[in-house]
Chains A and B, each alone.
Chain A
Amino acid sequence: DTGVSQDPRHKITKRGQNVTFRCDPISEHNRLYWYRQTLGQGPEFLTYFQNEAQLEKSRLLSDRFSAERPKGSFSTLEIQRTEQGDSAMYLCASSFRGFQETQYFGPGTRLLVL
């Protein structure tokens, strides 16, 4: 257990539905990252927060994706109008200060869109 938790661990949804995932980072960590990992691939960067500010979003993050970290603590990642191509493992990680620091990963949320 790294101290980063994600909920739910698994989600099955039908195409077109909205889903929301939650990440609780290690409490003193000010940076929070979201990644997506498809089968057989390494993780791909989606977005990251410094406290409550979203500092960068990947081109992978289409308009259907939105992430928030309202109080600089937990974060949510919402996918609207899900598509089968959204099926993946969504990973959250946190670190203290910045990229120089070790990132601690959560267990991931595995999404299956039918």
Chain B
Amino acid sequence: KNEVEQSPQNLTAQEGEFITINCSYSVGISALHWLQQHPGGGIVSLFMLSSGKKKHGRLIATINIQEKHSSLHITASHPRDSAVYICAVRTLPQGGSEKLVFGKGTKLTVNP
């Protein structure tokens, strides 16, 4: 079982819809990242969370540390939001090591 699980794997929405992407993890973490990857490979960091909620424009990210769960919401979705959204967790240091563990990503397609 992967340490980071995302759902759904694929999501198709109509322009204007409210989008939710979920991330669950099974390891102790010090932070969680939401990343956006466009076709061609470029990855952009959207949020880094260790507690609570963050908002940037139409994007909202929440995390519940006790439940080991995070959600990424997109309000008023637009075709330009079409991308793969990746959840990554920074594991707690073990033997001095911290690393990012990534989910497989959620492919979002927003149709006009």
Residue ranges of A at the interface with B (Cβ–Cβ < 8 Å): 2, 33, 37, 40-45, 56, 58, 89, 91, 93, 98-100, 102-108, 110
Whether A108 contacts B41 by the Cβ 8 Å rule is yes
* Cβ contacts under 8 Å, A107 to chain B: 40-42
The 6 closest A-B pairs by CB, nearest first: A42-B102, A108-B41, A105-B43, A102-B45, A99-B98, A42-B104
Measured in the bound complex, the distance between the Cα atoms of B89 and A103 in whole Å is 12
Q: Are A2 and B44 in contact (CB under 8 A)?
A: yes
Known: A40-B104, A41-B104, A42-B105. Contact between A56 and B40, CB under 8 A?
no
Contact count band on B: 20 to 34
- In the complex the two chains form, what is the Cα distance from A93 to B41 in whole Å? 13
A to B CB contacts below 8 Å, 26 in the list? A2-B42, A33-B100, A40-B104, A42-B86, A42-B88, A42-B105, A43-B43, A43-B88, A43-B100, A43-B102, A45-B99, A91-B41, A99-B30, A99-B99, A100-B30, A102-B33, A102-B48, A103-B33, A103-B100, A105-B35, A105-B43, A105-B45, A106-B42, A107-B40, A107-B41, A108-B42
- Min CB–CB distance A105 → chain B (angstroms): 4
Contact B42 A105 (CB under 8 A): yes
Complex CA gap A87/B42 in Å reads: 17
Q: Which residues of B contact A (CB under 8 A)?
A: 4, 30-31, 33, 35, 40-45, 48, 86, 88, 90, 97-105
Q: Identify B41's interface contact among A98, A104, A110, CB under 8 A.
A: A110
Q: How far is the CA of A97 from the CA of B40 in the complex (A)?
A: 28
- B residues within 8 A CB of A43? 43, 86, 88, 100, 102
Residue of B nearest to A104 (CB): B45
* Chain B residue contacts of A99, Cβ below 8 A: 30-31, 90, 98-100
Interchain CA distance A103-B4 in the complex, whole Å: 18
